[in-house]
A and B are shown apart, each in its own frame.
Chain A
Amino acid sequence: MEAATRLTPADARELETAFSVHMPWLRRRIALIVGDPDEASDIAQEAFARAVEKWPLGSRDDVARWLAAVGIRLAIDALRRRRRWRFLRLHETDATWALDVDPDLWWAIAKLKPAARAALLLTVLDGYTQDEVAVALGVRRGTVASWLSRARDELRPLIGSSEDGR
């Protein structure tokens, strides 16, 4: 309970606000990586729990970026553990919500390596630079560039061809 005792009332209020503000989008972002919304909730809560230990994190932007980076790292770890525990592979039923909306895109990003998927989301949705993604995921910048290049190559036919049909 060390974190609880060192938090000031102001910290606690900020924490409450941050939880309300950031939890919904963080959960949705993580769901794009792990598929299962319930697991995304767990991981988002765990990211938030880690934020509590570090609190205060800084400005509102800092909080969002910190949570995005930590949440996505935790999501990648979760997928790696699934591979280790083979009976916990990605289930189709985890992501029925995605299959109902855009199955082609879901399967395309699901085929990417978890870290590559995370890098893609961080750059495309959150506007992170490749350097920032490299720091967030603990890899070299060249690795990130390679992931993104391959990811875009794989997605380009899908995104391009879909334009004609839309």
Chain B
Amino acid sequence: MDDRFETRLRDRLRSLEAAVPPETRAVDAAPGRIRRSTVHLVGVPSIGLAAGLVIVLVAVILSSVAPKTAAPAPAPAPSQPTVVMGPAGFPVSIDGQTVYRFEDGKTWESLTGSFLVAAGAPYGPLSCPVAIPSPAPSAESDLFSGCPDVILGYTDSLQNGDFSGIGVAPKGLPLQAISGWGGHVVVFRAHTHDPEAAQCEPADLARCEAALVVESIVWPYLPLSIDGEDVYRGSDAWGGELEKLNKSFLIGGLVRMSEGNLLSECKSSAAARKLAISCISPYTTDLGGAWIAPESAGQLTNGWVVVVRAHFDQTLAAQCPADIRYECQQAVVVDSVVWSSNPYSSNGATPTPYRQVSPVVTPPQVGTTASSAGPISGVSGP
């Protein structure tokens, strides 16, 4: 099949699709306000009653769970939550729901259902002192901290310049999704008393009940889609799936600049200097964990949360020296910034490039068996 034909056809279909007029009827989840066109009701008697019931069901469900301001609209991105910022530079409530601090475990550990908790995101997993085989699947292995471990930090430890915290349940949000925010306070939706705790051995029950399971990242806000196009997360670039895309895509996350080292391979390769993250100094740039090609990193501002249109340049990557070709192949080349926010500016702090520090693991503070919970002792930082 002719690629140019396919590309042209796709572009014109997309233009046509983009011309569909926005929804003008009320579909804001109030029963009775979602109406079907009369002519279509006449034409589709077989669905009329059933669909009506189902649509009302959707409306009832949505009206019971949606904030009044969260009605779907033809906006380029879903409505942002209503955030009340606290003096420490992170939210104290989101959409009216209290945001607990991670270090104040006593306030959230006994809550039922999910809640919001502000914690410091880690840079990566704790390394293990020795190779530890993966445990057999079990409720305990889903809920207990293991090794490598996912540690969330106390919000005040970030402000103090070190990173101390406790482990969270492995079954929650994967490390890749969390570490893209490493070194910054993030608000997570999480829960304790996970239903799977009931399957734990009696001796482990209290520890299982106390395990914190992270469900999602609620703040800083990052759109899930823009104009109907999905926004990949920076962490999505880790798996190699994005590299297979033969087209530009939207990808978003926190812009972070960290200290880098200029490799000798960079001197001899123009391709590497354009693409390899190791070929920029003194700071390298990543977007929620995705490596940003040096040639396009200048478009991004440290500490901002952005969505960019980007692509991979595998043709140029093939010209990189073999030793760092993988960096070139994984380099996200930014075409343009399409959405941005500066969530960490409210405390007046000017974001500066960060230096990774070794985490300081402190005793866990959740549950009634605090002495036995938490990460494996004696591990060292990355």
Contact = CB atoms under 8 A, between A and B. Distances in A.
Interface stretch (B61-69, B143-151, B292-300): B61-69
B16 A105 contact: yes
Interface in B204-261: 215, 224-225, 227-230
B74 A159 contact: no
B114 A9 contact: yes
B13 A85 contact: no
A20 B72 contact: yes
Contacts of B227: 24
B98 to A, nearest CB: 16
A82 B40 CA distance: 9
B40 A60 contact: no
B136 interface: no
Nearest to A55: B61
Interface stretch (B21-29, B356-364, B365-373): B21-29
B54 A52 contact: yes
Main secondary structure, interface of A, reads helix
A53 B70 CA distance: 22
Contacts of A128: none
Given A102-B12, A159-B9, A163-B8, 7 more contacts: A1-B60, A16-B70, A19-B62, A39-B37, A48-B58, A97-B21, A106-B16
Given A10-B114, A16-B66, A31-B20, A64 B13 contact: no
A121 B20 CA distance: 15
Interface in A69-105: 78, 81-82, 85, 88, 97-98, 100-102, 105
Interface in B40-85: 40, 42-44, 46-47, 51, 54-55, 57-58, 60-62, 64-66, 70, 72, 74, 78-79
A105 B12 contact: yes
Contacts of B114: 9-10
B68 to A, nearest CB: 12
B160 interface: no
Contacts of A32: 13, 16-17, 20
A78 B36 CA distance: 13
A16 B58 contact: no
Interface of A: 1, 3-4, 7, 9-10, 12-13, 15-17, 19-25, 27-29, 31-32, 36-42, 45-46, 48-50, 52-53, 60, 64, 78, 81-82, 85, 88, 97-98, 100-102, 105-106, 109, 121, 124-125, 152, 155-156, 159-160, 162-163
A97 B227 CA distance: 17
Nearest to B224: A21
B161 interface: no
Nearest to A155: B9
Contacts of A3: 57, 61
Contact of A15 (B8, B27, B61, B74): B61
A121 B9 CA distance: 10
A154 B5 CA distance: 12
A39 to B, nearest CB: 5
A12 B61 contact: yes
Given A4-B61, A9-B113, A25-B225, A39 B40 contact: yes
B267 interface: no
Given A23-B72, A46-B47, A125-B17, A28 B5 contact: no
B203 interface: no
B44 A78 contact: yes
